Amino acid sequence: MAKKTPNNPQSAAPKGGETHQQASGNGNILTTNQGLPISDNQNSLRAGGRGPTLLEDFILREKITHFDHERIPERIVHARGSAAHGYFQPYKSMAHVTRAAFLADPQVKTPVFVRFSTVAGGAGSVDLPRDVRGFAVKFYTQEGNFDLVGNNIPVFFIQDAIKFPDLIHAVKMEPDRGYPQAATAHDTFWDFVSLMPESLHMVMWAMSDRTIPRSFRMMEGFGVNTFRLVNEAGDWKFVKFHWRPVLGTSAVAWDEAVKISGADPDFHRRDLFEAIDKGSYPEFELGLQILDQKMADQLAFDILDATKVVPEEIVPLEMVGKLVLDRNPDNFFAETEQVAFCPSHVVPGIDFSEDPLLQGRLFSYLDTQLIRLGSPNFHELPINRPKCPFANFQRDGHMQMLVPKGRVSYEPNSLDPDGPRETPLGLRTAAVPVEGTKVRLRAESFADHYSQARLFYRSVTPQEQKHMASALTFELSKVDVPEIRRRILGHLDIIDERLGSQVADALGMSGEAEKMTPAKAPIDLEPSPALRLYGKYKPTLKGRKVGVLLAPGFDVALKNGLVEAIEKEEATAAIIAPRVGGVEDSAGTKHAAEMALSGSPSVLFDAVTVLSGPAGDKALTANPDAVTFLMDALRHLKAIALSGVPGLMKKAQVGGEVGVVELTGAKDVAAFIEFARNGRVWEREPAA
């Protein structure tokens, strides 16, 4: 009898304990769950290379259905989230481009519920892994709910939704060991992306500081996919959705992210809740990139490709309204956990494009809610229920919470003349001609995988480039298989030779990059400064938190002036002391503290100050927590203000650097505030 091997799986009958592959009887042939061999696992079935995805694609539906139902009840992705209630108000009427009522009247405030999240980690993971952040907005409009389900990065790893289960399986914990949690620094993720060049643009964003944001309140949001706006006349245009934080964008340093995760794993969740709780409401502006088919045809890439951005220098943002978050959830489970977002939830005036990633999302999200919330009646949960009237003839089902009356549950009917009927005012799909042969095919216009990765890298600041190289080095250092590292280095060489060389040198693998041949030769696009994280927004200290460490004998007048200046900037002055019970000033008056030094490292603050007298300085100098507090603040490029701590400064080797201010009076306080407004003191970190 033939020896049973992976290449000869039919040599023995299936037995208990055999792998799925062995039991399937198809060996190394990829099949459906019914054993049907699959000829193309890269592309959904659609009407022509750029046409819409077809409902008959049972392979896509089986794959995504199985994926959507893998976890109960936690979300498979975006499991760890934080949310808030608020409202959206347009600046002007956009009726010339869309029928959407919530964009028509500047006097109308539309209620919203917004959920921010990480992607890869479970609900119990930390807030600050290197990860994409979800940015999902549910508009409770007068025409029904509109869910704008996006991320804090404008592109995605894949072009076709059929690859989504593969992507997430690769980035999640490795199935044989159950780790790492909420991390991309492992073999399966980098193996996948090294074999999927379409992922490279997103990889560059993922390795940037965008994936370790300072706060949900200080990150941008994007709709990612291309949608359509349709006006009353039926005319349509393509649209890309953007959210811009009024406070500007900000990120932590990687070393900060690691330390924050240990000091406060709920850092983002706490920041959002506390900001709203004290009335410092997060605000975002909605920007639209609107372009017609003619302009889309002139782009150097395909508007339907979710791995590409439309540079703002080509299609500027039109700011159309403001989102304000002004109320925390009353119950985390009932609202934040049970809220259900679906890209298919649109209103008249908003329509879909043929983007193959979006086409798959239209199926996947609804399917996910069915298993996660257990019923097609999830829309009846208070957090999901429309705030406008809704009525139809759908009945019964698990967890039905309404009590429909009458004998009629169908349409058309003559027995209930006052029942719901279709209306010409309802959703009208854009009249877009569709013609094509049924194929599993990626359009040639999707073939350029390197040009925009290069565009992003060459558009950001030198500091951001440096951090990306460091992130790539860290991540690839965690990859055990050398061949995977070599493939990634080969891709980096195509994106930017200097970047590839930097990472290879840092890994000790100079000259080992695998030679890669692009499917389509990359081109050099004009840099887009709008893609930068830093330097785009007006400097501000508003919404930030300044750590004020007090030690015995501090000057109370100096402390009061400093706190007043911080609060004048609409920032928070957090009072820290060696002991949480408080500390005495130079006159012997005791001042309460909000937190103890041992549990309040400087990574939790945007800028820091230390005020003390001689006795306090001696105690701080002997306190490792105080020394680390100051050393880390210097390392993380924070503005620092000091008074009465010569011993601590000497021990921590701090003094004389740019952004370190020794306080003697109001003039010095003003200088400190100026440094703090700028966020980090980049002069302390060389770009190269």
- List domains and CATH numbers for the chain: 47-380 (2.40.180.10), 451-531 (1.20.1370.20), 545-684 (3.40.50.880)
Check residue 404 and give its pLDDT: 87
* Of 6-15, 157-166, 349-358, 546-555, minimum mean pLDDT range: 6-15
Residue 16's pLDDT is 38
Q: What is the mean pLDDT of residues 599-628?
A: 98
Q: Side by side, which strands form the sheet with 595-596?
A: 595-596, 572-577, 545-550, 607-611, 640-643, 660-662
Predicted confidence at residue 29, as pLDDT, reads 84
pLDDT tens, position by position, 68-91? 877 657 888 999 999 999 999 999
| pLDDT of 645 strictly over 60 | yes
Percent with pLDDT over 90 in the chain: 84
Name the helix (H) or strand (E) containing 572.
Answer: strand 572-577
Q: With bands split at pLDDT 50, 70 and 90, how would you rate the model's confidence at 561?
A: very high
Q: Which of 247, 326, 293 is nearest to 677 (CA)?
A: 247
At residue 36 the predicted structure's pLDDT band, cuts being 50, 70 and 90, is confident
Q: Which residues contact 354 (CB under 8 A, 6 or more apart)?
A: 46, 50, 51, 52, 53, 304, 432, 434
Alpha helices in 185-292 (DSSP H): 187-194, 200-206, 254-263, 267-277
Is 379 designated active site? Answer: no
Q: Which segments within 185-338 are labelled E, that is strand?
A: 221-222, 227-230, 236-245, 283-291, 318-327
Of the candidate ranges 188-192, 392-396, 450-454, 661-665, the one whose mean pLDDT is the lowest: 392-396
Over 80: is that where the pLDDT of 671 sits?
Answer: yes
What pLDDT sits at residue 14? 35
Active-site residue, from 43, 145, 151, 152: 151
Residue-level pLDDT at 17: 39
Question: Which of the residue ranges 40-44, 469-473, 494-498 would you say has the lowest mean pLDDT?
Answer: 40-44
Residue 7 pLDDT exceeds 70: no
The 3-state DSSP class for residue 623 equals: coil
Residue 23 has what pLDDT?
40
Nearest partner of 250 among 564, 454, 464, judged by Cα: 464
Which candidate in 43, 78, 85, 678 is catalytic?
78
Lowest mean pLDDT, pick from 184-188, 213-217, 684-688: 684-688
Q: Compute the average pLDDT of residues 147-151.
A: 98
- Longest alpha-carbon distance in the chain: 94
User: Is 476 within 8 Å of 507 (Cβ atoms)?
Assistant: yes
Spell out the residues 6+ positions from residue 455 whose beta carbon is closer than 8 angstroms to its own.
309, 311, 525, 527, 528, 531
Is the pLDDT at 5 greater than 50, yes or no?
no
- The position carrying tokens 């996660």 is 372
The mean per-residue pLDDT over the stretch 605-617 comes to 98
The reported pLDDT for the residue numbered 72 is: 55
| DSSP 3-state of 286 | strand
Cα separation, 372 vs 157, whole angstroms:
24
More confident residue, 69 or 44: 44
| Per-residue pLDDT tens digits for 580-593 | 999 999 999 999 99
Query: Which pLDDT tens digit goes with each residue over 300-354?
Result: 999 999 999 999 999 999 999 999 999 999 999 999 999 999 999 999 999 999 9
pLDDT at 539: 95
pLDDT at 652: 98
pLDDT at 3 over 70: no
* Least confident window among 163-177, 192-206, 419-433, 528-542: 419-433
Q: To which residue do tokens 């002036």 refer?
A: 561
pLDDT band at 2 (very low <50, low <70, confident <90, very high): very low
pLDDT band at 27 (very low <50, low <70, confident <90, very high): low
Least confident of 100-109, 306-315, 398-407: 398-407
Residue-averaged pLDDT of the chain: 93
Return the SS3 of 434. coil
- Rounded-to-integer distance, Cα 426 and Cα 410, Å: 19
Handedness of CA 391, 397, 399, 401 (dihedral sign): positive
**Residue 216 near residue 282, CB atoms below 8 Å:** yes
Count CB neighbours of 41 within 10 A. Answer: 12
b or e along 14-24 (b: 16 or more beta carbons within 10 Å of the residue's beta carbon)? eeeeeeeebeb
69 is catalytic: no
pLDDT of 15 strictly over 80: no
Is residue 282 predicted with pLDDT exceeding 70?
A: yes
